[in-house]
Structures are given as structure tokens and as C-alpha cells.
Amino acid sequence: MIGIVTGLAAEARCCDGRFVRCEGPGAERAARACEILLGHGVGGLVSFGLAGGLAPALRPGAVVLASEVVLEDGRRMLPHGAWRERLRERLAVFGPVETPLAVSTQVVTCATAKADLTKTTGAGAVDMESGAIALCATAGGVPFVVVRVTADPAERTLPPVAEAGVDANGRLRPLRLFQALARHPGQGGALFRLAQDSRTAFARLRRVAERAGADFAFL
């Protein structure tokens, strides 16, 4: 049995019917989700959800299988090779990209910061949870893999109002988002483009979850 960890409730809903846990975005909450899943005796952990694009070639909706997870202190954690290979074959229809994935303690919103991060780490994508999941899996003596879909391209700077749309538990809060947008209407165009990219990414994420199957090619 595997455990799936997401940072957003909407990501978790893509995996309905499976052993999935969402405690919210970020390392601390991802670690809490891992501890709960490991306490239930899962034999492997999957980091699943959206990621920010760092490599210019990765457009919204690109499927990423992390070849390694680059922690903020420079350490590199390796996902389980055989498991990742089985998953790559199962997801071959999507043309998954195997690339290092960087970890950040906060959302990387600026195009310049994205360029700096890929330059220093060699990573093609970034998220906030995979580092904690990798560390928890290693400490718990179980394998892990990272399956992500890019939501925003490398050259795009995200509008600040977007952060108002997600609460600390990873749930979407559209009313708060609209209130923030009312205060900063000039960000409406950028927010609309982000929403389009997010729809593309979530549509692909749902298809990836369906294609991966209940076991995510674990066995």
C-alpha cells in the first residue's frame, strides 16, 4: 500500500479512492501528512501535485518525474529508481520529463528567481513539499517517487494576489481571491492567465492520476 501526499486539497481530489493525505502546503504540513501515512503502515510515499516550471521547455501541463530532489541546503535525495522507471512506462503517453526538482520554502513567484534557481540547482521544476516527503520516506525506511505537473512557465511572474486564494490547509478560497483582486485590479490579466494555466495543469493531473492507477506502479 502506498501513501500519496499533496499540498492542495484540489490535488488530493484527483486521487479520490486512494490513500491520500493533504495537510496543506509547505514542508511542515507535508511532513505531518507523511507521519500520518507512515503510521498507517504505507510501504511507499508519492509526492503528487502541481509544480512551478523552471526549465523554459516545460509548459503548463508537462508531466515531471523527479530524477532527484534538491533540498535548499544542496543535498540531493534520490527517488526509488525501479519504481520511477515503472511509473515512467505507465505514464509514457504523457511524455514525462525526468529532471531534478528543486525545493523551496515559499512559492517562487518571480521569473528572475526561477531562472536563478534552475541555474544553481539544475532543476527543471520546483515545489514546496517534495523535500519533506523525501526526508520522511528515508527516515521511515520506505521508497518514494515524485510525480508533478507544471502549472506555470518559467518566464511568468505570478501575480501577488494569487496567494490569497489558498488557505493554510491547502483549500481554495475564491472569495478571498476576489476580495484581493478588487483591491488590486491591475493584476487581473496576470491572474486570468494563471487561471488558464491552472486549468490545463489540473486537467492533466487528473489524467495522470487515472493513468497511474491505484498503486502508482508501486508493485
What CATH number does residue 114 fall under?
3.40.50.1580
pLDDT at 184: 62
pLDDT at 170: 46
pLDDT at 196: 81
pLDDT at 175: 57
**d(C-alpha 3, C-alpha 10), whole Å:** 17
Residue 217 within a domain: no
Helix crossing, 174-183 with 188-212: angle to 10°? 160
Residue 38 within a domain: yes
- State the sign of the Cα–Cα–Cα–Cα dihedral 32, 214, 199, 84: positive
Residue 218 within a domain: no
Residue 96 within a domain: yes
**d(C-alpha 42, C-alpha 140), whole Å:** 10
Helix crossing, 130-140 with 27-39: angle to 10°? 30
* Residues in contact with 39: Cβ distance below 8 Å, sequence separation at least 6, in sequence order: none
Q: Which residues of 139-152 are buried (b: 16+ CB within 10 A; e: fewer)?
A: ebebbbbbbbbbbb
pLDDT at 157: 79
Q: Name residues of the chain where pLDDT drops below 50.
A: 170
Q: Is 92 helix (H, G, I), strand (E, B) or coil?
A: helix
Residue 219 within a domain: no
pLDDT at 191: 61
Residue 138 within a domain: yes
| Structural domains counted in the chain | 1
The DSSP secondary-structure symbol of 159 reads P
Phi, psi of 146 (to 5 degrees): -125, 120
pTM greater than the 0.85 cutoff:
yes
**d(C-alpha 105, C-alpha 86), whole Å:** 30
C-beta of residue 177 within 8 angstroms of C-beta of residue 77 = no
Phi, psi of 3 (to 5 degrees): -120, 135
pLDDT in tens, 33-52: 999 999 999 999 999 999 99
CA nearest neighbour of 191 among 142, 138, 152: 152
**d(C-alpha 203, C-alpha 83), whole Å:** 24
Distances (CA, A) of 148 to 52, 67, 154, 192: 9, 12, 15, 22
pLDDT in tens, 96-125: 999 999 999 988 988 999 999 999 999 999
**d(C-alpha 43, C-alpha 56), whole Å:** 35
Residue 36 within a domain: yes
pLDDT at 193: 72
Residue 92 within a domain: yes
Q: Which residue range is the domain that position 176 belongs to?
A: 2-212
